[in-house]
Amino acid sequence: MSPKPRPGRYRHGRAGNHAPSPRRRRRWPWVLAGTVLVIGGIGAVGGVFALQALEVRDDLMLAKAKLGSLTEAYKVGDAAQLQAIGAETLDLTAQANSTVQGPLWDIASAVPVVGANVAAVKSATEATHIIVRDALPPGIELLGIMSPDKLKVEGGGINLAPFQQAQQTLPHIKGVLAQAQGKISGIDRGELLPVVDEAVGQLIGVVDQAGPLLDTAEQLLPVVLRMAGSEGPRNYLVVFQNNAEIRATGGNAATSTLIHTDNGKIQKVEDETVEDFYLAGVNGWLKSDLPDETLELYEADFTRNAQNFSRTPDFPTTASMFSQLWTQTNDTQLDGVISLDPVALSYMLAATGPVPLEDGSEINAENAVKLLLSDTYERFGNNGLAADAYFSDVASRVFDKIASGSWGPTAMIDQLLRSVEEQRIYAWFPREDENAIVTQFNVDGALPADNSEATQVGIYLNDASYSKLEYYLSTTMNVMCDPAARTMTTTLTMSSTVPGNDLSGYTLAWRNPSMNLPRTTMILDTLYVAPPGSTITAIAPADGDIKRWNRDGAEKGHPLSSRTMLLKMGETKTVSFTTQLPEGELGPLEVRYSPTVTQTPVTVDGSCTGLFRAAE
C-alpha cells in the first residue's frame, strides 16, 4: 500500500509555509465537469455535428447539476431522492453517450487535427457514462444506507453493516473505474488543442486519483472494522490531555476513560478495574521498562504519576506506559490508547451540538475550552479532587454525545481533521496493521527513526510549576536555515497573559513559593528535539533560567536539549536551537510542538527550501 500524504504537520513547500492540507474534492462532479469543458471547446465543428456536440454538452451540464444535489439529499437522509437523482443523471449521460456513437462522430474523428479532439471528447463521454451507469448506482446505494440515522445504534455506537457492505462493493467500483480508465488512457494529449487537453487532463487526473483512493479504502476497511469490534470486543483507553498544565504532547494526562467496543457498540467501562488502574497511576505503581538515558531527560515524576506520562514528545512511549500500567494492574491487554485535548473536544462539539450538564448549564463549541480549563478551577478553588471529578464528568457526558452517533459524519470528519492538523489527537495500537493506519495518517505522534519520510524537528513544553497557568500561554514557532552551512535554527516564542494574582490557589503555581518565585510565573521545561543524525550546535540562551536543570541527551536517536525558562506574568520570551543537519537527502520538513489552548502559528523561512525534499 503506497503511503498517502500525512495530514497534521506544517510542511515546507506546500501552499504556503504553514498552510493546512487541502480538502479533498468531490469526485463525481469533476468527472462530468471535465467532459463538459471538452464539449464546449470543440462544439462548432459544423452543421449537424455541431448541433449534436451542443446537445451532448447540454446533457452533461444537466447531469452535473443533478449530481450537485446529491450532497444535500444525503445530509437529509432522503434515500428516494438519491435514487431519483441517480436515475435522472443516468438518462442524461446515456443520451450523451448515444449521441457520440453516431456516424458523424466517427467521420469527424478522422479529420486531421480536429479529429484527435473529437475522438478525445467521444472517449471522455463514454468514460463518464460508464462511471455513471455502473459505479454511481452502488455508490448511491451506499450513501443511502450510510445516512446519519442509519449509522446509529441504540445505546451508542456505529452500525457496521453499511461499512461491511462497502467492503463488498468497492471491488466492483474499482473495476468500473478501470474500465473507464481504459477508454481515456489511449488519448494522445500531445495532439489536443489546449482547451480540450486541459479538460481531458482533468478527467484523466480524477480517474487516476480515484483508483489509489479506492485501493486505500479497500485495504483499510477490514482493519478499521476489526478495530470497531467486528471480530470480537476491544478495550481502548482514551486520555484527555489538559493544556492548562502543559506537557509535550498536550497536557496533564490525569483524566482518562476506558471504552469498550463490540460490533460497533460503544460503552464506557466504570468498574473496579478502572478504579484500580486510576489508583495505580496516582500512586506511582508503574514498573517502567524505559532506559535510564530516557528517564534522565525528564523530571523524576515522569513515571511516578500517570499525569506525567505525556512529558515525552514520543506518544508511543506515553501510550506504552499507560498500557503497561493497565496490564500490571489488571492482567489484561489494552487494544489501544487514544489522546485528545479539550480544544479537540470543542471542535467535536461543533459537529455534535451542545451537551447539557448536571447543573442545568451546557457545554458547547464556544465555551468548552474556558469551562474546562479555567472556569472549573476558579469554581472549585483549592479543591483539586472536585475539579478533576467535574472535568471527568463533563468529558464523560461529551463522550456519551459523541458515542450516540447523533451528528453528521461529514461535519465530524472535518473537525477531526482540524484537530489532527493542530497536533491535538494521537493514537497508538499494539497490533502492527492497526498502528500502521495511524502512522500513515500521521496521528502516531512518534519520533521517527530516520529522515527518509520526514525530517522532524520540535520544541515542546512541560509545566514544572505544578499549576494551571498555561491556560494563559500562547506560542509561535519559526524555522530558518543556512543552506551553505547546512544548518537549521528553530525558535519558540512564548507569551504569558496571566491576568494577576486573583486566581484560585489551584490555578496558581504550587511549586513557586519553595523557589522564591511569584505564583504567577510559569516554569517551563523547554525541550528541543532535533532530527536523527544531526548535532545541536548552539542554544540561545545557552543556559536556562535555572542552570542546574539543563539536560542534554538523546531519545530514540534524536538529539535533545532541555532548558528551563521562567515566564513572568505578561512577559514574552524566545528560545532558539541551531542544528547541524546530516548529509544526504532529507525528507520534507515536519515541525512539531506542544498544542496550547490557542493556535500555534508556524513559519518556515524560504531559506530552507533547498535543504528538504518537497512534500508530495
Domains identified in the chain and CATH numbers: 10-227 (no CATH), 234-421 (3.40.630), 448-608 (2.60.40.1170)
Asked if residue 362 has pLDDT above 80, the reply is: yes
The DSSP annotation for 338-374 comes to EEE-HHHHHHHHHHH--EE-TTS-EE-TTTHHHIIII
Report the 10 Å Cβ neighbour count for 616: 11
DSSP calls for 208-260: HHHHHHHHHHHHHHHHHHHHTTTTS-EEEEEEEEETTS--TTSSEEEEEEEEE
Average pLDDT on 536-542 reads 98
Q: Which helix (H) or strand (E) holds 572?
A: strand 572-580
pLDDT digits (tens, 9 = 90+) for 167-219: 888 889 889 889 988 888 888 888 787 777 777 777 777 778 777 878 888 88
Average pLDDT, the chain: 87
pLDDT category of residue 597 using cuts at 50, 70 and 90: very high
Can you tell me the distance from the alpha carbon of 531 to that of 55, in angstroms, rounded to the nearest whole number? Answer: 59
Quick one: cell of 56?
A: 451532448
Query: What pairing do the DSSP bridges indicate for beta strands 336-340 and 10-11?
Result: unpaired
pLDDT for residue 46 is more than 70: no
Reply yes or no: is the peptide bond before residue 541 cis, omega within 30 of 0. Answer: yes
pLDDT tens digits, one per residue of 18-41: 444 444 444 455 556 556 656 665
340 pLDDT band, cuts 50/70/90, is: very high
pLDDT tens track for 240-254 = 999 999 999 999 998
The model carries a pTM of: 0.84
Cα four-point dihedral sign 226, 227, 229, 234: positive
Q: Which of 73-87, 158-172, 269-283, 473-487 has the highest mean pLDDT?
A: 473-487
pLDDT value, residue 37:
59
Helices 114-130 and 194-227 pack at an angle, to 10 degrees, of 20
